[in-house]
Structure 1
Amino acid sequence: MQYLERLPTDALKIDRCFIAAIGRTVATSSVISHIIDMAKTVGLAVVAEGVETEAQAAYLRAHGVEFAQGWLFAKAMPIEDFLALVRTQAWREAKGRQDAAAQAARRPDPAPGSAAHGLSTP
């Protein structure tokens, strides 16, 4: 642990062999949660490599892993294709936020205590 704390790094990348063990009964399946906890204890971001299934992604999200790469998200591609993909996704996200804001602005505010506020009505 002291060795990890002294390394000049800000992230720990978990190898795909550990990711592949998620949800399976194999020797390495119990190790991944300890790797994640250890990285967080020393203040490292965690990157999961080789995420191929939604179940793996859900496990990693539930354990606070913020970064992942793998075929679940996209196949390997040339840098030009990757940059185009990122630009397209950023545009879609921005457009979605604009649309949601415009839609919210057109809706009247719900009455206090209504179900729209998440409160049950008497």
Structure 2
Amino acid sequence: MSEKFNYHKNFLTRRCVKMTNNLRKVKQDLRSYAKRCKDVHYTESLLIRFLITGILFATNNLFSASKDTNIENQRQTISTSIKNLYQQVKATRKENDKLLKQTNLELIQLMEQGDH
């Protein structure tokens, strides 16, 4: 049991260190950006706003990706339905053409019988 606990503890510690390093890097980058821009002044609240905005933007992208796949699925469904309808219309036209030819042959035969 203690081995598993130690493993998870070490894993979480490594993740926290990595997250802390990432946070430090973001903080450093934001400070350097603030130095370059005269209108922006670095504060901790700016860092927090920046992080929250990034999180909100990332979650919106995740949801929009699922919406895009949903739209794409609907588009494919509609396309398939249109193709099926087109095939049915084509088959019906062939059948109508065949029946029309048969009817024309019958008409010609009747006209020939009437001539004799």
TM above 0.5: no
Computing the radius of gyration over CA atoms, which structure comes out larger, 1 or 2? Answer: 2
Normalising to structure 1: TM-score of the pair? 0.34
TM-score by length of 2: 0.35
Higher relative contact order (CA 8 A, sep 6+): 1
Greater strand proportion: 1
Choose between structure 1 and 2: higher helix proportion: 2
